[in-house]
Structure formats: structure tokens, C-alpha cells
């Protein structure tokens, strides 16, 4: 998101109160209407579903300056997911009708948002293709790449450092925690990643080649 777009969003949301949520707190329940359109100021918010077995299945993780619930504001699409604070979170929540007026008056902001949605949809479709392949290691490698490109710190040209719990990787890939642990060690033995507690170094180029992907 470029600075001009961000400035317009900040100006629109400036009149609304800053809300704070503690780590682990639920922002919105599935099948409940959001309180408004949200602009994430700080922290991470996870969008997830709960499987029939009672496990969390993470669909997306938002980082600042994410802007969510605008589809609900535009066409009243039913919210079917839970939104929770993955860390301590600060956000502003704007009135839905006022936000629709704002978006209509600022087509550059709308275009930017639609562009981001398209990229997110493309990633979700790729995730679906990988998930239906049935290979646990492929699903795990794909989640590692998403984590690397969204939250990683680049060490050198193709090596990225991420900090993530194995339980989080299990939730995002739909795999058992034990399977994630086993497959991570296999990837380490193949020199595709390095493990040190919650820190994982990833050779993104090698993982992409292993999955047969171009850059996400």
C-alpha cells in the first residue's frame, strides 16, 4: 500500500476511536455482523474457522495496515469466520455506510484494495491446489513460503528468517502438530530449512522449486 492510499485511509479513520484487544481475545464471532469496517493499526489478527473436530483452521493473518470487513460493508456478505487477536492489537472501526461513501469518492483506494484482494485470492487458490494434492509436506512448504513472504526477515538473497510456533503452522496447514514436527525435520535434513526453536530459516528459492511454483 503506497503512502498516498494510506494517508487517505488514516484520514477517513481518524475520527473513530482506537480500540485495543489483548492477545487471544476474539474480535468477531463467526455468523455475527462486524461492528464496522476495521483498519489494523498494530498487531496481528487471524481469520479462522473451527473444524468439526474442534481445531482452528487459519484462513488468513492480517498485519498493519490491513483493512477488513469492507466486503461486508459493500454488499452485506455474511461473515462466516472468527477473527482473533494473534498478538495485542490496536485498530479503528469505521461506520460501514460512511466507508462505502468514502470508497466511492476515492476510486484509487478501491482499486488498491481490489488489487490486494486479487493477490490474496490467488494465494488461496494455490493453497487449495496444494491442499488437494494430499501431500503433507507440500502443504507445510506452502505455508512456510507464505509466512516467509508476509512476515519474514531477509537474511540474504534467498534466505528468510521467520519466527512461528509449530502449532500455528499446524493450524494454517490443517495438519496435526506431530506431522508438522516430523515434516520440518525432514525438510531440515534436505537442507531446505534450518530449525532453532521457534526460529526457522528458509531457502525460498529451493522451496519454490520443490513445489514447482514461481514467486508467490
CB atoms closer than 10 angstroms to residue 11: 11
- 148-159, pLDDT tens digit by residue? 888 888 888 779
d(CA 124, CA 60): 9
Looking at every residue in the chain, the average pLDDT score rounds to 86
Handedness of CA 28, 30, 35, 40 (dihedral sign): positive
Asked which of 111, 128, 145 is the last residue of a domain, the reply is: 128
- Domain presence at residue 120: yes
Is residue 175 a contact partner of residue 139, using CB atoms and an 8 Å limit? yes
Question: Alpha carbon of 38 to those of 6, 12, 116, 153, 182: distances in Å?
Answer: 14, 11, 16, 27, 38
- Domain presence at residue 107: yes
Residue 124: predicted pLDDT: 65
Is residue 198 a contact partner of residue 111, using CB atoms and an 8 Å limit? no
Residue 132 has pLDDT above 90, yes or no: no
Asked which of 128, 156, 184 is the last residue of a domain, the reply is: 128
One domain, residues 99 and 173: no
Q: For the residues 49-65, what does the mean pLDDT come to?
A: 81
Give the chain's domain count: 2
SS3 percent helix, strand, coil of the chain, rounded to 5, is 45, 25, 30
- Domain presence at residue 191: yes
Residue 79: which domain range?
Answer: 3-128
- Domain presence at residue 216: no
Residue 214 has pLDDT above 60, yes or no: no
Residue 74: partners with Cβ closer than 8 Å, 6 or more residues away: 100, 103
Residue 125 has pLDDT above 70, yes or no: no
CATH, residue 77: 2.60.120.10
Which of 47, 55, 54, 57 lies closest to 84, judged by CA? 47
d(CA 203, CA 185): 15
3-state secondary structure of 23: coil
One domain, residues 81 and 65: yes
Residue 58 has pLDDT above 90, yes or no: no
Q: For the residues 162-174, what does the mean pLDDT come to?
A: 86
Give the cell for residue 80. 462466516
Amino acid at each position: 500500500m503506497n503512502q498516498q492510499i494510506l494517508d487517505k485511509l488514516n484520514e477517513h479513520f481518524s475520527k473513530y476511536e482506537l480500540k485495543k484487544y489483548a492477545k487471544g481475545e476474539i474480535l468477531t464471532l463467526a455468523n455475527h455482523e462486524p461492528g464496522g469496517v476495521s483498519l489494523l493499526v498494530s498487531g496481528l489478527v487471524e481469520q479462522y474457522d473451527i473444524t468439526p473436530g474442534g481445531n482452528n483452521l487459519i484462513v488468513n493473518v492480517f498485519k498493519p495496515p490491513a483493512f477488513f470487513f469492507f466486503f461486508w460493508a459493500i454488499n452485506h456478505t455474511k461473515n462466516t469466520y472468527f477473527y482473533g487477536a494473534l498478538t495485542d492489537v490496536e485498530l479503528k472501526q469505521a461506520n460501514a455506510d460512511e466507508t462505502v461513501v468514502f470508497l466511492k469518492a476515492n476510486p484509487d483506494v478501491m482499486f488498491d484494495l481490489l488489487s490486494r484482494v486479487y493477490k490474496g485470492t490467488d494465494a488461496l487458490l494455490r493453497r487449495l491446489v496444494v491442499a488437494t494434492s494430499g501431500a503433507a509436506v507440500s502443504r507445510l512448504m506452502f505455508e512456510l513460503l507464505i509466512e516467509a513472504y508476509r512476515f519474514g526477515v531477509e537474511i540474504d538473497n534467498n534466505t528468510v528468517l521467520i519466527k512461528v510456533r509449530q502449532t500455528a503452522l499446524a493450524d494454517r496447514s490443517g495438519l496435526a502438530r506431530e506431522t508438522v514436527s516430523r515434516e520440518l525435520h525432514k525438510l531440515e535434513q534436505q537442507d531446505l530449512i534450518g530449525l532453532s526453536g521457534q526460529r526457522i530459516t528458509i531457502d525460498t528459492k529451493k522451496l519454490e522449486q520443490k513445489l514447482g511454483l514461481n514467486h508467490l
